[in-house]
Chain A
């Protein structure tokens, strides 16, 4: 826990304070990490989001038809996606795919003395390794969330158009009418917070590996479990703050 807080503080220092003392972070590694963390996760995110959109529409159809309220199916799909399913499920994908990879990579670097070598070369590991991953995650997770939201809405549209009595215009109009910008923004705020949680937990797990290959394995598992739990708890808290408090 102490290590985790220290990592966060030193991360804030390198991002917010160090650039004003002339130690600006390099841009190229950030883009490299954005490709790795974000772009390569896009197909998985798309598949997940599409399945969720389809599932939501089918479940909504089942319940709402019995009430004779089919017209509200797009509302349900869109609001659920924007507020909850989008940010959470895409964070789950990114934890499993990118968070674990970051923890394993940094852990391997730790056990093979690479981190120590950086320190001896007077290169701060937080600045050199953590900052690019952090910034990449902070940009890419919200971006993936927006992308996933679109794909999920497309999934809902597929069910509504091909299996139910909606036409495209009807679906889009109904969706636009029901969702407001706050639904989107609340999901975006969530995904920014999740991005922070995921990348700091993964980096912290990796940088504190001890004891060879086995340690790397344990740290990777721990990073996934901790990031998932922290993310889900934080989601409940944020939903409480955004939608449940007076």
Chain B
């Protein structure tokens, strides 16, 4: 593990509350250069919220987030913008601008932030689209391509400025197995070859174990487990085992609503959903 590299992200005692509910409760971890950190956890466990704190679009209730050694909580918009040029972000939906073509979407960061000539930009756009397997799609609009393609264009756009750090929100959901492998390969190539650092939020366990150098599992707002893929694979924690093997029954509650995680003991799988409980037949 390249844990001896420079620390790129340092999250320290991060707490975020919405009203009385702590969506993120005392989260701390570091990400070093060249690492691929996979953040996993069930829906609504705070993964996306955590990601939004790392990119500076949400402010924590308390705690700190450092990117490239600089504290981003309390930064002015201008200062954050300067940092944002150094990282790329792939949104869950791709978040392409519907009014622009695929090529224009990828070119957008280059047009806004570099002084490159139109020819150079065209070259870069072609090259980035080729990386994600979408050669020749420049002139289509986002409406004309599938959800998986949008996501790959989003990835090409996130990589347009050759970022040092890439955030991906579920990069492989909605992709077919081959494209998932292609996107994973790309992430691996970039982190190994160009020393890019990646933070990936994912549900897709195959892909997660393929790309991760370190993994964090979130559950009800705090870190349930973290470690290398091997450590996670062999974790004795039943919640981790349930999640990575996708079992319907286990310690993870099925419905996490506003106040249920205060008292997890109450939220067990209903008898007819899991095999752990038996119907109690009344015998006469």
Contact = CB atoms under 8 A, between A and B. Distances in A.
Interface of A: 105, 108-109, 112-114, 116-124, 128
Given A116-B57, A117-B89, A122 B95 contact: no
A116 B95 contact: yes
Contacts of B93: 112-113
Nearest to B154: A117
Contacts, number: 50
A109 B89 contact: no
B91 interface: yes
A112 B84 CA distance: 20
Interface stretch (B106-114, B127-135, B185-193, B268-276): B106-114
15 contacts: A109-B98, A112-B93, A112-B95, A113-B92, A113-B95, A116-B91, A120-B57, A121-B84, A121-B157, A122-B81, A122-B82, A122-B85, A122-B112, A123-B112, A128-B112
B108 A123 contact: yes
B113 A114 contact: no
Contacts of A112: 93, 95, 98
Contact of A114 (B85, B96, B109): B96
Contacts of A122: 81-82, 84-85, 109, 112-113
Contacts of A108: 98
A121 B57 contact: no
Contact of B95 (A105, A114, A123, A128): A114
Contacts of A128: 112
B264 interface: no
Q: How large is the interface on B (under 10, 10 to 19, 20 to 34, 35 or more residues)?
A: 20 to 34
Interface in B66-113: 77, 81-82, 84-85, 89, 91-93, 95-99, 108-109, 112-113
Contacts of A121: 84, 89, 108-109, 112, 157
B18 to A, nearest CB: 14
B84 A120 contact: yes
B225 interface: no
Contacts of A119: 57, 84
Nearest to A113: B95
Nearest to B113: A122
Given A117-B96, A121-B89, 10 more contacts: A112-B93, A114-B98, A117-B154, A119-B57, A120-B84, A122-B82, A122-B85, A122-B109, A123-B108, A123-B112
B96 A120 contact: no
A123 B84 CA distance: 9
B178 to A, nearest CB: 26
B57 A109 contact: no
B84 A109 contact: no
A119 B87 CA distance: 12
B55 interface: yes
Contacts of A109: 97-98
Nearest to B97: A114
Nearest to A119: B57
B85 A117 contact: no
Contacts of B89: 117, 120-121
Contacts of B82: 122
